[in-house]
Chain A
Amino acid sequence: MASTVIATVVTTVIAFVIFRSDGEPALATPLTGFSAPFVFGRFNVPKGNPLTVEAVALGRRLFYDVRLSANNSISCATCHMQHLAFTDGKPTAIGISGKKLAFNSMSLANLLWGSEHFFWNGRADSLEQQALIPIQDIDEMGQNLDELVVELNADAHYKAMFAAAYGDINADNIAKALSAFERTLVSSNSKYDQYLRGEATLTDQEDLGRKLFVAHPDVKTSLRGGNCIDCHSQFLTAGFKPLYDGFSNNGLDNEENLSMGLQIVTNDPAHRGFFKVPTLRNIAVTAPYMHDGRLASLDDVLDHYNEGTQLSSTLSPLIMEADNVVRGAQEPISLNLSDNEKRAIIAFLHTLTDHDFLTNKSISSPF
C-alpha cells in the first residue's frame, strides 16, 4: 500500500553518498516495501527510472517545492492537492499567470495503471515527459529549467538527494524524480477496495450501484446497467491501457462544438472530441468534473449520461446504443436510469473514496 511505501521513504536519512566516477549514484535502495493490488493489473516502470527509496523521496520534495515555479509561488501541489485526491477543486487550473488554463486538474491517483498517455488529450507519452511540461509552461509554472537546475544546485540538501537517487541535478533527473513519486500515489484502500478484499460489506444501495456500474444494459435480457464499465474498468475504475483505448468521446458536445481532444496528438479525425477516461478513485472529492470542469456535481454527471448525451460523429458507440429501455430511432440518447438507480450509482461512487490516501502524511508536504 502507498502508506507503507512512503513510510519507508520518509524514514530514510541520506547521510553519506559515495559517487562513482561516471556521476551515477553508488547506492540506490530498491523500494522493497511497495505493494499494489494484483487486480489493478500489470504496470510498467521504466528500466531507466526504477522505483527506489531515494528517487521517491526526492520526487516528493520537488513535488511540494514552490521553487519549481518561476516566481517561487506555486508547486505541483498547488493544483494537485492531496485532500482533493491531488486535484484543486476548480473547473480549470490557474497558474502563475493568473489565467484560467484549458483543462481541469487531473487526479494523480493510480498513475501506474491505465493509459500510458498523459494529460486530458494524451499529449505526453510518459510521466517523465509529462512532468516537465507544466513546469515550463508560461501560464502554469513558467520556470526555466536551466535556472531551476542552478537554483537546486545551490541547495546542499538537494545536491545530496539527487546524488543518492540519480547523480547529477539536471532536467531529466528532475522529471524522473517527480515521476517516481507520482508512481507511488496508489489509492487502494477505499471501501470498494476493502469490499474486493473481503474486508467490508457494501450497503444494499451501494451494491445496487456496483451492479449497475459493471453492467452494460441489455433490454433483451432485462439486464439494467449504468454502462460505466465500458470505459472505467471493474477494479481500477480507470480507462483501459492499450494504445488509445483509454480515451473516449463521452458525448459532452455536439458536432459543431466538438473540441480537438486526442486528435491534436494523433491527427486522426476519428479522435476528435476524445479525452482521457479518468480514474474514478476518490471521485466524490474531485468535483467539478470532465476535462473542462463543466459539471459541478456527481448528480450532474449522472444526468449527463442519463439524458444529456450529445450526438456527434465520434461519440462512443458503447454510449450511443446503451439504453435500459427499447428506444425509438428518433428518440434522444439516454440510459433511462431511474432516480433510484442514479442515486445507487452515486452511492457506489462514494465507496471509491480512500480516506487513507487523502490524509496519509507520508505523501503530504515534507516542508
Chain B
Amino acid sequence: MRILHNITVYTAIISFTMLFTACSNEQDKAGPPELPTAVDTAAAGLSDKAAMVTDSNREESQAVVLLRGLPTLGTHHSVAIVELDPDAENFGDILHEFEISDLQAPLHHLYYSPTGRLYATGLDPKCSLAEIDLTRNASGAPVINGVDCLDTQGQQVGEDIMWHSVNGTQYMFVTFMAGTGIEQTDGGSLSVFDAQSNEVIKIIEARKSQVAEGEPYIMYPHGISAYQDRMLISSTIHADLATGVGNAITVIDLNTFTPVETITVEDAKPVGFPSAPVEVLFVRPSIVDNVAPHVLVNTMFGFETWQIPYNEVDKTFGPPVKIYDGVTQNTGVPLEFYGNATELFISHAIPGVVKRYALASLPELVSSGPDIKSEAGAHHMIFYPGKSGRQLIAVQNNLLNLGNAADNDPTDLDFIAKVNDHSITVHDLQTGDRLASINFKDKYRKGIDNVEALFGSGFTHHH
C-alpha cells in the first residue's frame, strides 16, 4: 500500500482525535485478572479413566490475527494464532505464527468461506487476496502451512469479502479499494470470483470520470453487503489516503453484475471532508425475523450511522436517514457492524468504544446495554465463551495498522498513530467490563490488523 503523507487533508481529523485522546486515557485500564493455576490432568497409564484425559486446549477462545511488522522494530508481517481467554494461563500468547517476510505491506482482513476455507485480503500489490493453508498437526493443533496469493488480474488493496448466491450459484465477492491501479484517482472495483477455483469471473468497474454525469459509479469500495439480487458497496477513501474521499454507496444488480444506482450518504462534515462511508450492512430477514429490509451505513469521516429503506418489491431504495450522530455523542470514525443472535454492535475508533443495540428493534438503534470501552482505534471484534462459562468480546484496537512517527516509522500518518492502540482488549460481553488486554506492539513489536475467531466465526452477521 502506498502511503502519502498529507497533513493538510487530515489536520481537522488530528484535532478531533486529540480531543478524544483524553477520554481514551480516562478509561479503566485494569490489567489481566489473577489467573488460576492450570492443572495438568494428562498421564500415561490406562487403568485410570482420568489418566486418559488430555489437554483439551479449548479452541473457542483462540483467534487468528493478522500482525504487521513494524519496520523500525525489525519485525515481519505474519498470521498468528493467539489465546484470548483471560482465564487461561497462556492468555495473550502466540500459539503458532507464520511469518510473511516477502511482502512490503501486510495482509488486511480475514474471512472464512462457507466451506471453511480461510482467506485474507491484502494491502501489498503482490498479494491483494490470499488463501491461507490452515491444517492440523499430529497433536491436533492448528498450523498455517502457507499463504497462497491469488491472481486478482491486477486488482489492488483488497478490503472486504462476502460469499453470496446469485440464481443458485455461490460467488465470492471482493472489494478492491485501489481497483485495477492505485494510480487511478477515482479507481476501485468489485470483483466476482468463482468460489471454488478462486478465478476471477468478472471485474466490475465504473470510474466516475468514465461514466456519464448522473450515472452510477464505483469509487474506492470497501464495505459490502447483499440481499437477494442487490449488493451494496461503499465509496470510502482512495487507497493512498490522500487523493480523494468518497461519500456514497453503490447498488449492484447481481443479475447483470452492473452498478445501477449511487446513493449519496452525507450530511454535516464534522472534519470538513466527504463522509467516507466505510461498512454497510443490508439488514434482512435472515438477520432479524420479519424485519423490513433496510441498509445501515457507517460514515468514517461523517461520524454517523445512516439508514436507507429498501422496497424489495420494486427494488428501490428510499432516501438515507441519519440515525446516529457521533458529533453529539462524542464518538468518531464509526467502522464495523457485527451481530450475534440478539444484538448489533458498532465500533467507533474514537474514543475507542463499541456500542450495542437490540437486533429486534432495527431499523432503529435502541441501546441494549452498556458501552464496551476498549481503546483508541476500536475496530474488529469476535465473540466467544471463556472457560469460566462467561461470554466474552475481544476488540482489536487499531484504525489502520500504520507506524508511529515516534518510532521513525516511514508509514506513519500523524493522526493515525493516535487512533492505534495496537491492542486487543477482552471484555465481559454482558457488562462490558474489561477483563484483560494484550498490547501487541509492547509484547511482540508488531501491530495488529485484524482478528477472527479461530474455528468458525464468533458472530453471525458481519456483512
Which residues of A come within 8 Å of B, CB atoms? 5, 30-32, 34-51, 112, 125-126, 128-129, 172, 175-176, 195-198, 200-201, 235
Which of B44, B117, B136, B198 has the most CB atoms of chain A within a 10 A radius of its CB?
B136
Contact B138 A31 (CB under 8 A): yes
Q: Is B49 in contact with chain A by the CB < 8 A criterion?
A: yes
Number of A-B residue pairs having CB atoms within 8 Å of each other in the complex: 95
Would B44 and A42 count as touching, CB distance under 8 A?
A: no
B116 located at the interface, meaning its Cβ lies under 8 Å from any Cβ of chain A in the complex? yes
Q: List 7 A-B contacts (CB under 8 A).
A: A34-B138, A35-B135, A35-B145, A47-B42, A126-B46, A198-B117, A198-B197
Asked if B167 lies at the interface with its beta carbon under 8 angstroms from chain A, I say no
Give the contacting residue for B142; candidates A5, A38, A50; CB below 8 A. A38
Closest 4 CB pairs of A and B: A48-B44, A47-B42, A34-B138, A39-B116
Q: Which stretch of B52-60, B155-163, B230-238, B432-440 is in the interface?
A: B52-60
User: By the criterion of a CB under 8 Å from any partner CB, how many residues of chain B are at the interface?
Assistant: 32
* Contacts A38-B142, A197-B117, A198-B117; A48 near B51 (Cβ below 8 A): yes
**Given A36-B135, A235-B116: A46 and B52 within 8 A (CB)?**
yes
B115 contacts A by Cβ under 8 Å: yes
Are the CB atoms of B137 and A45 closer together than 8 Å?
Answer: no
Using Cβ atoms and an 8 Å threshold, which residues of chain A touch B44? 46-49
Report the minimum CB–CB distance from B308 to chain A (whole Å): 25
Q: How far is the CB of B243 from chain A (nearest CB, A)?
A: 36
Contact B138 A51 (CB under 8 A): yes
* Residue ID in chain A nearest B285 by CB atoms: A221
Tell me which residues across on chain A come within 8 A of B59, comparing CB atoms: 41-42
A352 vs B272: C-alpha distance in the bound complex, in angstroms? 59
Please tell me if the beta carbons of A47 and B54 are within 8 angstroms of each other in the complex: yes
Q: Say yes or no: is B329 at the interface (Cβ < 8 Å to chain A).
A: no
A200: chain B residues at CB < 8 Å are: 196
Contact of A196 among B42, B115, B138, B198 (CB under 8 A): B115
A176 to B52 alpha-carbon distance, docked (Å): 11
Cβ-defined contact, A201 with B196, below 8 A? yes
Q: Which residue of A lies closest to B117 (CB)?
A: A198
List B residues 135-153 near A (Cβ within 8 Å). 135-140, 142, 145
Task: Using A38-B116, A44-B56 as known contacts, say yes or no to A129 and B46 having CB atoms under 8 A apart.
Answer: yes
Asked if A40 and B42 sit within 8 Å, CB to CB, the answer is no
By a CB distance below 8 angstroms, the chain A residues around B137 are 32, 34-35
If A48-B51, A195-B115 touch, whether A41 touches B45 (CB-CB below 8 Å) is no
Q: Is the CB of B139 within 8 A of A45?
A: yes
Q: Please give, as numbers and ranges, the residues of chain A lying within 8 Å of B198 by CB-CB distance.
A: 198
A77 to chain B, nearest CB (A): 23
Pairwise interchain contact B197-A38, C-beta atoms closer than 8 A: no
A38 to B134, CA, bound (A): 6
B288 nearest CB across to chain A (Å): 13
**Chain B positions within 8 Å of A40 at CB level:** 136
- In the assembled complex, which residues on chain B have CB atoms less than 8 Å from the CB atom of A172? 45-46
